[in-house]
A and B are shown apart, each in its own frame.
Chain A
Amino acid sequence: MVEEEKIFNKNILIAVDRSDNARRAVSYVGQLLGGLPGFNVTLLHVVPEPEEDYFSTAIQEEEWLTQYRQKIDVMLEDSRQFLIKKGFDPKNVAVRSTLRYCPSMAECILSERNKTEYSTIVVGRHGLSRSEEFLFGSISSKIVNNARNCTVWVVE
């Protein structure tokens, strides 16, 4: 019996933050796929909503969020422009940032992917020490272990 061929789309979700490893992930996608037709990329940043009491007043929280979003918007646009320079059609490169409470950043990223139709997730590896990985966890490792029905690229 011939197994039905699984259909993968050309939609790529790159999970980014302001780190060097996220920049490498964007660079990898740009170098590998830039100029090739049919690929759609979304650059996703999940803003981790700070816990209660991280700020002593609502005004402080608003100010923090505003400044944070400004920095993230710059990062997202820079990354978008990088991909366009590498040959992506501007209408095929989108940016998205979403504020969420994230006990697990990896699960937040995966749940964003699950809402949409991306066959591929790209994430940079943090290069954590073993003790950091134990204490604070690895987003890329958790995405690899928990992703379903998609492909994960981890960029060193």
Chain B
Amino acid sequence: MINRPPQENLRQMASRWLPPHQVPQRFRIHTDTSDFFRVEYDDVVILKGRPYLIRHNAKEQGFGLEDEVKFWVKRAIDLENGSLKIMKLVFYERFMSRIGDIEFECFRSPKKEARILELVSGHANFMHGYSIQDEKDNLIRILDFIKGKTLAAHVGDMKMDHEAYYYEQFQGIMDHFFECIQAIRFLHESGERHGDIRRDHILIDQESGHYRWIDFDFNYRHRENIYGYDLFGLGNILVFLVGMGDLLLPDLKKEGHPSLSTLSEEDLNLVFNNSVVNLKKIYPYIHESINRVLMHFSRGANWFYENTVQLLDDLGEFKSHN
């Protein structure tokens, strides 16, 4: 039986971190988080005696216009020291995912995320945290909150033309992203995979300036190539960064881009057939060495990267030219 701290103690702790009008009169206390829908704003979750005050549910950009609410992911305040945390509760979700025409089975894995948190503890390019079980052995992950924009938002918010971006911003961004790929290499060489590599799963830490991977609980039933999906994700981010966004055929057609007639099927993304990968045809000043890397993710590729070492070697060639 877990000792629940008296309400007065919780009020005193909360009042150290919250303005008086935000301190609840009474706290609903949870020691079993199995039904995460019941864990709501202003509730307290006690984990191994440590109280956490629950705040809002996390949101993530879905495929539509509205953000999707992740009811199993809560913002929380550690009432002992006031630090802001992300609390991920257990959700055994299993679903079919689709990229292009390809369908594959995915599932959420608290244990995988817990393992990786331990593996990457202290690593500058990953989120940090730890895992802890509640009274019903649900494996909860407590993550340090990272203040900062996603890489997607950082590039998306840039107000400049592509040429200015390429010569003034891109090199710095690439240096950081290179570190991110090295971080994924570290994961792979430790027998793990990220599982959900996306441009909004890199946060730019306002305090340290490091680019940090988040969200490792996604898992999928791989077939032969355990790291292929991670590599594909890295390639997509790279194309996004080089292009300062996605270059889609419909958009190029709408604006009547002069280079449209030079594009063929081989210049397009291997999976997303409306996305241009051969960016040198649109932006001729892009260095050949980086364009060559992008083309390994195109329909015209006669060879695909099998691991991050190969990708890093080729990117190293681009770095040496700049």
Binary interface encoding of chain A residues 135-149 relative to chain B, with 1 for a CB under 8 A from any of its CBs, else 0: 111110010000000
Contacts of A105 in B (CB 8 A): 223-224
- Please report which residues of chain B, range 225-243, place their CB below 8 angstroms from some CB of chain A when the two chains form the complex: 225-226, 228-229, 231-232
Q: Give the docked Cα–Cα distance between A51 and B304 (Å).
A: 26
Q: State whether A136 and B94 are in contact (beta carbons under 8 Å apart), knowing that A52-B109, A52-B111 are contacts in the complex.
A: no
Q: Give the docked Cα–Cα distance between A61 and B206 (Å).
A: 43
Please give me the residue from chain B that is nearest to A52 by CB atom: B111
What's the interface size class on A, roughly? 20 to 34
Q: Assess whether B101 is in contact with A139, with CB atoms less than 8 Å apart.
A: no
- Please tell me if A116 contacts chain B, counting CB pairs below 8 Å: no
Q: Give the docked Cα–Cα distance between A138 and B102 (Å).
A: 14
Which of A104, A105, A134 is packed against the most chain B CB atoms within 10 Å?
A134
- Please tell me if A53 contacts chain B, counting CB pairs below 8 Å: yes
- Please report which residues of chain A, range 84-119, place their CB below 8 angstroms from some CB of chain B when the two chains form the complex: 103-106
- Please tell me if B99 contacts chain A, counting CB pairs below 8 Å: yes
Contacts of B231 in A (CB 8 A): 134
Please give me the residue from chain A that is nearest to B235 by CB atom: A134
Give the distance to chain B from A106, nearest Cβ to Cβ, in Å. Answer: 6
Give the distance to chain B from A110, nearest Cβ to Cβ, in Å. Answer: 12
Give the distance to chain A from B61, nearest Cβ to Cβ, in Å. Answer: 22
Q: Assess whether A137 is in contact with B224, with CB atoms less than 8 Å apart.
A: yes
Contacts of A50 in B (CB 8 A): 221
Contacts of B111 in A (CB 8 A): 52-53
Q: State whether A51 and B225 are in contact (beta carbons under 8 Å apart), knowing that A131-B102, A135-B271 are contacts in the complex.
A: no
- Please tell me if B107 contacts chain A, counting CB pairs below 8 Å: yes
Q: Give the docked Cα–Cα distance between A139 and B228 (Å).
A: 13
Q: Assess whether B109 is in contact with A103, with CB atoms less than 8 Å apart.
A: no
- Please tell me if B44 contacts chain A, counting CB pairs below 8 Å: no
Contacts of B304 in A (CB 8 A): 133-134
- Please tell me if A56 contacts chain B, counting CB pairs below 8 Å: yes
Q: Assess whether B219 is in contact with A136, with CB atoms less than 8 Å apart.
A: no
- Please tell me if B270 contacts chain A, counting CB pairs below 8 Å: yes
Q: Give the docked Cα–Cα distance between A52 and B191 (Å).
A: 14
Contacts of B100 in A (CB 8 A): 131
| 8 Å CB contact of B223 from A54, A129, A139 | A139
Write 23 A-B pairs (CB below 8 A) sorted by A numbering: A52-B109, A52-B112, A53-B107, A54-B94, A54-B107, A54-B221, A56-B92, A104-B225, A104-B226, A130-B270, A130-B299, A131-B101, A134-B228, A134-B232, A135-B225, A135-B271, A136-B224, A136-B225, A137-B225, A138-B224, A139-B223, A139-B224, A142-B224
User: B residues near A, CB below 8 A?
Assistant: 92, 94, 99-102, 104, 107-112, 191, 219, 221-226, 228-229, 231-232, 270-271, 299, 301, 304
Extra pairs beyond A136-B104, A137-B225 (11, CB < 8 Å): A54-B109, A104-B225, A105-B223, A130-B301, A131-B102, A134-B231, A134-B301, A135-B271, A136-B222, A136-B229, A139-B224
